[in-house]
Chains A and B, each alone.
Chain A
């Protein structure tokens, strides 16, 4: 049986959130993030959600392709117009990783690891990826798009991805319906966003994100890593700074990772 999405049921399930009445489901489009950014530039509303049963041109960081089979993965992009400074928009990156981790746990009872800033892994293989795009002035974010891709029903991957990717079906017998997973993702994300967007809650939300990253990611402290940045370097992860950037203890002192590209040191060979 094909695991399709039911837009009416979805909308009913998220009616308490900022996404109510703003879900857009497509059978096949190039990239939900590209569409969401285009719609944002045209004035689409805060909380608009773009979902694809199939992505034909899914994107990751640095234009990496995101493998997508029809009805196998969850491909969703969320448009936000948060009242915050551009620098504060970075908190959305960590918050989204935590939200997706929680959503997967809620529907499968499995706890994925988070590779800073927000890759979701089982056994070192990627089950979920996140890409955020933002358009901002110095003092305010005009709009931000949060793209989430989760491998759900894939029974296998192409040979070049087998050591890198996994799916919920490959990890558990309790394969969730994509619909249930999507609702969980949207609800968990809504909780995170509400905390970050209310000025009175912002400090607490940031502290909570830092604390949960420390607790729920095995990559934040004590992990031997290779960092593919600034020419590449190795070291041991040494926690997060107050802005959420990953610190790595190297032979030449502590360095701050800006952009990701953090890999298990053993994987570098």
Chain B
């Protein structure tokens, strides 16, 4: 998470505190944020300490954006520690995302029926071809730019992909 994103998150938390929102979830473009505020006998919002942000980093699939706001009087929320969870396709989880450099159709193998270039659980090397993205009869070999273990494939073979769309998550070694 970069400085700009962190500032946006701080602003969001301020807003949610003002609105006395008990829980909040946001999921979009590889970033998943879940916030819940809890307090003991006083305005729980004041307990939210940005220094206590716990970063739970896991890949969030590019699902349709879903924002769930559950307004609640914070004084009614049961006691417990403040909790802010952040899930993002970021570096802190050691996950590297291989993205498509072009618009096209994703293929896991060089030809129909052929073995996939890589499978979840495989070890890949930097520079190793991991898939093909085809557009206009141009077969574009996509390489891994890190060495590590393939932990997730985000796209099914034959699916269209957009420029910059995540294709694989790789745990660096």
Bound-state Cα–Cα, A220 to B64, Å? 33
- A229-B137 in contact (CB<8A): no
Please pick, from A63, A89, A144, A245, the residue contacting B112 in the complex, using a CB distance under 8 A.
A63
Stretch of A100-108, A129-137, A168-176 lying at the B interface? A129-137
Sort A-B residue pairs by CB-CB distance and give the 10 closest, nearest first: A63-B111, A86-B101, A93-B136, A138-B101, A117-B136, A132-B138, A259-B105, A135-B141, A134-B140, A133-B139
CB within 8 Å for A118 and B101 given contacts A63-B111, A63-B114, A87-B163: no
Please pick, from A85, A90, A138, the residue contacting B138 in the complex, using a CB distance under 8 A.
A90
Q: Does A267 contact B (CB under 8 A)?
A: no
Q: How many residues of B contact A (CB 8 A)?
A: 24
Bound-state Cα–Cα, A90 to B136, Å? 7
- B160-A230 in contact (CB<8A): yes
- Contacts of B80-122 to chain A: CB distance below 8 A: 99, 101-105, 110-112, 114
- Determine the chain B residues whose CB is within 8 A of the CB of A193 once the complex forms: none
Q: Does A258 contact B (CB under 8 A)?
A: yes
CB within 8 Å for A132 and B137 given contacts A62-B112, A63-B114, A230-B160: yes
- A90-B105 in contact (CB<8A): no
Q: Does B72 contact A (CB under 8 A)?
A: no
Q: Does A94 contact B (CB under 8 A)?
A: yes
- Across the interface, name the chain B residue whose C-beta is closest to A64: B111
- Determine the chain A residues whose CB is within 8 A of the CB of B160 once the complex forms: 229-230, 258
Q: Does B56 contact A (CB under 8 A)?
A: no
- Contacts of A78-93 to chain B: CB distance below 8 A: 85-87, 89-90, 92-93
Give the interface residue-count category, chain A: 20 to 34
- Contacts of A94-137 to chain B: CB distance below 8 A: 94, 117-118, 130-137
- Determine the chain B residues whose CB is within 8 A of the CB of A118 once the complex forms: 136-137
- Across the interface, name the chain B residue whose C-beta is closest to A139: B101
CB within 8 Å for A117 and B110 given contacts A90-B102, A137-B101, A138-B101: no
Please pick, from B99, B102, B111, B129, the residue contacting A89 in the complex, using a CB distance under 8 A.
B102
Bound-state Cα–Cα, A260 to B137, Å? 6
Q: Does A218 contact B (CB under 8 A)?
A: no
Bound-state Cα–Cα, A163 to B103, Å? 33
